[in-house]
Structure 1
Amino acid sequence: MALSFRELQAQLQPGWGCEHSGDGGQFDVLVVPSLSMDRALMALVTGAHHYEERQLFSLIRLRDPGVRAVYVTSKLLPELVVDAVLELLPGVPTSHARRRLHLFDTDDASNRPLTEKLLERPALLNRIGDLLRPGRSFISCFVVTELEKQLSERLQVPLLGTDPALGYWGSKAGSRALFARCGVPHPPGSGLATNLDDLSEATADLWEANPHLRRCVVKLNEGISGEGNAPLELEPLQLAERSSADRRRCLRHALESLPMPAASWRELLAQQGALVEAWLEGGEALSSPSVQGTIHPGGRVELLSTHEQILGGPSGQTYLGCCMPADAAYRLSLMRHGRAIGEALAAEGALERYAVDFIARRIDGNWDLQAIEVNLRQGGTTHPTMALRAITTGQLDPDSGLFLAPTGQPLHYRATDNLTHPDLQGLLPADLIDIVADADLHYDPARLRGSVFHLLGCLSEFGKLGMTCVGRSAEEAEAVYAGTADSLISRAMELQGRSSPPGGRPPGSGPGPVPPAGPAPGAES
Structure 2
Amino acid sequence: MPSTVEIDRFQALQSQLRDRWCSIDEFDRRELDIIVIPSLSLDRQELQKIKGVHHYEERLLFSLIRLRNPGTRLIYVTSQPLNPLIVDYYLNLLPDVPYPDARDRLILFSTDDASTKPLTQKILERPRLIERLRKAIRTDCAFMTCFNSTQIEKELSLQLDLPLLALDPDLLRWGTKSGSREVFAEANVPHPDGCLEVWDAADLATATAELWERQPNLKRMVVKLNEGFSGQGNALLKLDALQSVAPERASTVERAEAIAHAFEHLSFQCDTETWAHFSSRIPDLGAIVEAFIEGEEKRSPSVQGRISPMGDVEILSTHDQILGGPDGQIFLGCSFPADDSYRQQLQEYGLAVGKVLAAKGVIERYSVDFMAVRSSNHDSWNLQAIEINIRKGGTTHPHMTLKLLTGGHYDRQSGCFLNQRGEAKYYVATDNLQSDRYIGLLPNDLMEIVARHRLHFSRSSETGSVFHIMGCLSEYGKLGLLSIGNSPEEADTIYKHVIQVLDDETQMHTQHPFHPVYLSSTHSSTHGD
For normalisation by structure 2, the TM-score amounts to 0.93
Partner in structure 1 of residue 242 of structure 2: 237
Residue 207 of structure 1: SS of its match in structure 2? Answer: helix
| Residue 351 of structure 1: aligned partner | 363
298-307 vs 324-333, which deviates more? 298-307
Q: What residue identity is the alignment partner of 2:461?
A: R
Whole-angstrom CA distance in 2 between matches of 1:27 and 1:344: 31
Match of residue 392, structure 2, among 370, 378, 384: 378
1:294 matched to 2:302? The reply is no
Aligned partners of 2:328 and 2:373: how far apart in 1? 16
> What CA deviation, in whole Å up to 9, does each residue of 1:282-327 have, x standing for no partner?
2x52100000011111111121110001111123211100001000
C-alpha change, 1:243 and 1:512, in structure 2 (3 Å) is: closer
Instruction: Determine the C-alpha separation between the residues in 2 that align with 1:302 and 1:33.
Output: 23
- Pick aligned residue for 1:258 from 249, 252, 266: 266
Does residue 167 of the first structure (1) align with residue 172 of the second (2)? yes
Kindly provide the amino acid, as one letter, of the partner of residue 278 in structure 1.
Answer: A
Equivalents in 1 of 2:123, 2:25: separation in Å?
28
Moved more, 456-465 or 14-23: 14-23
CA contact (8 A) 1:20 1:60 kept: no
Please state how far the C-alpha of 1:328 moved relative to its aligned partner: 0.1
Structure 2 counterpart of 1:36: 41
Q: TM-score, normalised by structure 1?
A: 0.94
For 2:385, the aligned partner's letter is: A
Residue 292 of structure 1 aligns to which amino acid in structure 2? Answer: Q
Separation (CA, whole Å) in 2 of partners of 1:512 and 1:167: 30
* Structure 1 CA distance for aligned equivalents of residues 445 and 285 of structure 2: 44
User: CA separation in 2, counterparts of 1:15 and 1:133?
Assistant: 12
Which deviates the most, 164-173 or 486-495?
486-495
* In structure 2, distance between residues paired with 1:434 and 1:171: 43
Q: State how far apart, in whole Å, the 2-side matches of 1:509 and 1:269 are.
A: 32
Alignment CA distance shift 1:102-1:20 (3 Å): farther
Compute the displacement of 1:375 (Å): 0.2
What is the distance in 2 between the residues matched to 1:384 and 1:13? 27
Structure 1 Cα separation of the partners of residues 450 and 523 of structure 2? 21
Give secondary structure in 1 for the equivalent of 2:392: coil
Alignment of 1:309-320 (within 5 A): 309-320=321-332
Which has the larger displacement, 32-41 or 87-96?
87-96
Match of 1:416 in 2: 430
Whether the 8 Å contact between 2:51 and 2:476 is mirrored in structure 1 is yes
Mapped contact 2:455–2:464 kept (Cα < 8 A): yes
1:351 CA drift (Å): 1.1
Q: Deviations over 1:129-153 (max 9, x none)?
A: 1111122101110000011000000
Contact 2:17-2:163 at 8 Å conserved across structures: yes
Instruction: Give the % identical residues.
Output: 50
Amino acid at match of 1:475: E
SS in 2 for 1:415: strand
CA contact (8 A) 2:430 2:528 kept: no
Which one is further off, 199-208 or 8-17? 8-17
Deviations 1:320-374 (A, max 9, x none): 0000100000000100111111111111111111000001111122111110000
The 8 Å contact of residues 20 and 141 in structure 2, kept in 1 or not, is answered as no
Question: What are the residue-to-residue correspondences of 1:398-417 with 2, within 5 Å?
Answer: 398-417=412-431
2:255 corresponds, among 233, 237, 247, to 247
DSSP-derived class of the 1:4 partner: helix
Q: 100-109 or 480-489, which moves further after superposition?
A: 480-489
SS in 1 for 2:387: strand
Q: Sort the Cα spacing of 1:398 and 1:298 in 2 relative to 1 into closer, same or farther, 3 A.
A: same
Asked if 2 retains the 8 angstrom alpha-carbon contact of 1:220 and 1:275, the reply is yes
What displacement does 1:511 show?
A: 2.0
Residues 404 and 14 (structure 1 numbering): CA distance in 2 closer, same or farther, change over 3 Å? farther
Task: For 1:512 and 1:377, locate their aligned partners in 2 and report how far apart those are by CA, in whole Å.
Answer: 22
Structure with larger RCO (C-alpha < 8 A, sep 6+): 1
1:201 aligns with 2:206: yes
Give 3-state SS (helix, strand or coil) of 1:336's partner. Answer: helix
The 3 A distance-change label for structure 1 pair 17 and 296 is farther
Kindly provide the CA deviation profile for residues 436-475 of structure 1, in whole angstroms up to 9, marking residues without a partner as x. Answer: 0111001112112100000110000011111100001110
The aligned counterpart of 1:45 is 50
Alignment-derived partner of residue 516 in structure 2: none
Q: Distance in 2 between matches of 1:493 and 1:4?
A: 57
| Cα distance between partner residues in 1 of 2:526 and 2:457 | 21
Which residues of structure 2 form unaligned runs of 5+?
Answer: 514-521
Deviates more, 1:305-314 or 1:253-262: 253-262
Deviation at 1:14, TM superposition (A): 5.7
Shift in Å at residue 484 of structure 1?
Answer: 0.7
Deviation at 1:20, TM superposition (A): 4.2
Q: Which amino acid aligns with 1:208?
A: E
Q: 1:17 to 1:172 in 2, by over 3 A?
A: farther
The CA deviation string for residues 481-520 of structure 1, in whole angstroms up to 9 with x for no partner, is 0001111221123234469xxxxxx96442264xxxxxxx
CA distance in 1, matches of 2:336, 2:20: 26
How many residues are matched?
Answer: 506
Shift of 1:247: 1.5
* Partner residue, 1:59: 64
**Pairing 1:4-403 to 2, within 5 Å after superposition:** 4-13=9-18, 16-238=21-243, 239-240=245-246, 242-244=249-251, 245-260=253-268, 261=270, 262-263=273-274, 264-282=277-295, 284-363=296-375, 364=377, 365-403=379-417
Q: Tell me which moved more, 156-165 or 254-263.
A: 254-263
CA distance in 2, matches of 1:254, 1:17: 52
Letter in 1 for 2:527: P
Q: What is the alpha-carbon distance in structure 2 between the residues aligned to residue 512 and residue 309 of structure 1? A: 10
Q: Quick one: which of 475, 486, 509 aligns to 1:461?
A: 475
Aligned mate of 2:498, from 484, 490, 510: 484
Secondary structure, aligned partner of 1:148 = helix
Unpaired segments ≥5 residues, structure 1: 500-505, 514-525
**What's the offset of the Cα at 1:192?**
1.6
Distance in 2 separating the partners of 1:392 and 1:236: 54
Q: CA RMSD in A?
A: 1.7
Alpha-carbon distance between aligned partners in 2 of 1:315 and 1:361, rounded to the nearest angstrom: 16
Contact 1:17-1:352 at 8 Å conserved across structures: no
Q: How far, CA to CA, are the matches of 2:321 and 2:329 in structure 1?
A: 10
1:233 corresponds to which letter in structure 2? K
Letter in 2 for 1:82: V
